[in-house]
Structure 1
Amino acid sequence: MFKVKILQLFDSFVLNTVGPYYRRLGKSLLTQGNDILGSETSDDRLVQCLRQVEAKGHKPQIGDAIFTAPNSVLIGNVILKQNSSIWYGATLRADNNSITVGKNSLIQDNVYIKATKAITVGNNSLVGPNSNLQGCTIGDDAFIGMGSTIKEGANIQGIVAAGSLVPEGTEVKQGEVWAGSPAKYLRDITPQELQILREYKQELLELAQVHGEETSKNFRQIVIDTDERFIKQQRGTEEEALQKIAELNFPLEYEDEEFIEQRVFMKQQPPMFMDSENLKSQQDQYEQDLSQFSENMQKYSEDYQIYEEAKKYFEQNPQAKANQFASKSEIPDDKPWSRKY
């Protein structure tokens, strides 16, 4: 929490003090440089964001859109409703009349819309890439195929195939498929095709949300994402496993961590002792032949078998004496037991 407060104070200081100071300093240096150059001066100017260009007192209203591409051009009285999206290279010119894009509608790449008359794109509609719309009306759930041209006064409520030219004043009713240049009625859309179009629109909506989140990140978020990707590349498999377990809120101690790292390592590597007998039995790679381990492990294994036998005997004969069983061997002191084995 304390670190967050420090970062907030730092951001505020940069925005309110450092930034304006350097801006004033830059303007002063630019003016002095132009005075020195005289007739050779070059008046470079910063171009404003093309997504919001005011024209004739109207400014685009894009606050409800889910995604507006950084290089899209929105001029004048453009209204984007909830979850609408304007993709890369699209141009919407509403300097003479209004352009309204309905809810969940998608204006895809390099679409050109010119409001010679007021243009309305209905809800849940899709305008394909490289299309050209001029003073027309697009209804709800309409689909305009890529590379299509819709002339002034046309009313599109149905489906226009890719590359079609819809003449002025043409009406395409809901459920109809039109195609050609000039476009003519082809047939009615099938329920299967309608379902495919709905699924396609939904996929594009989800993709638009992803693009919107990425293009709206500030400089600090981009730096953090870059650092996280770098750390992930440098992180080993054991560290990833431990981090995943920590995210699941499992309690971890030193011994647990070492055990998990060993399991991860052994899962990646082939069994240490893969002889013909192990291959035939297809045993688990963690259940290895104890004879390959140290002498201590063998001694403990033998004593454990004796313990199991004794336990079973005393359960059946509670009156028996304990001196009937003795350890077969003793563990040498010069090789103490280690949990590493």
Structure 2
Amino acid sequence: MTMITRTLGTGAAAVESGALGLGLMGMSGMYGPAEEAESIATIEAAVAAGMVLLDTGDFYGMGHNEMLLGRALRQLGIPRESVRISVKFGAQRGPDGAWLGYDARPAAVKTALAYTLNRLGVEYIDVYRPARLDPKVPIEETVGAISELTEAGYVRHVGLSEVGAETIRRAHAVHPVTDLQIEYSLISRGPEASILPTTRELGIGITAYGVLSRGLISGHWSAERAGAVGDFRNSSPRFQGENLAHNLSLVEELRSIAEAKGASVAQIAIAWVSAQGEDIVPLIGARRRDRLAEALGSLDVQLTAADLEQIEKAIPKDAAAGDRYATEQMRSLDSER
């Protein structure tokens, strides 16, 4: 299979990616236990299919996710130069897994990268980004530190995550930004107001995570399903009570459209994100090869203008019930201000 490519960023900041990327977070406990052999097989299948953008975070499983990716690259014999590794840093967590805030001071940036390079067993990171804006540290200082790391050869490109238009402009003025990672899906359309216009003005790409809203709009979730111990969704507002019932009713609206197109609900949802612009690369959070295969099938779904209009009517902006994160986490999102 030959996957079409998309380019994130412009000029010296440009990074070539497949039309889909692989998000590894779910392989390290955020959605409950994952089987390592299957995770590694999924990484192998993704890279073989052309999903060369591999996204991780140093706080996913407290370093487990980076070590998993490092083992996979070595075990599978995947040449370092054949993949693009994207890493988020800065989130602080306690030994009980509690979220403690963010640290994006220049010294912390460089220390975090040193640990990341060691866990991954690589000499450089393709795109390095703060997971969230640290309210105590000007973005110019954080990006300035990453810029110094690019000059030293440890990082190739600067990325951002979940920040708003003003922060994007300030960061880009310090060092060209390759891409912004942000949640974007049929039921999470906040970036359309000011963030997407800003990234497009500046030539910054988008890596869209949560394109299936953590499985909520995949077509596989049900009101009877319960998350495993440690599953992030157990406390996610969109998966609770009346919110869940409402959101699953939206999925059924989407299902009728999918069936008419001969596609699955997940494939339509992914295809919709892809159709929003060639500067967008959806990140697929598959933990298993069967889910990965389904996601890859979205590349064969061609949405016409009539299809997009029908989808918009079925799931208009702001149709979802409940925030995408719990209240405390929503407060930490610069992108929501």
Task: Check whether TM > 0.5.
Answer: no
For the pair shown, the structure with the greater C-alpha radius of gyration is: 1
> Structure 1 length as normaliser, TM-score?
0.20
TM-score by length of structure 2 reads 0.21
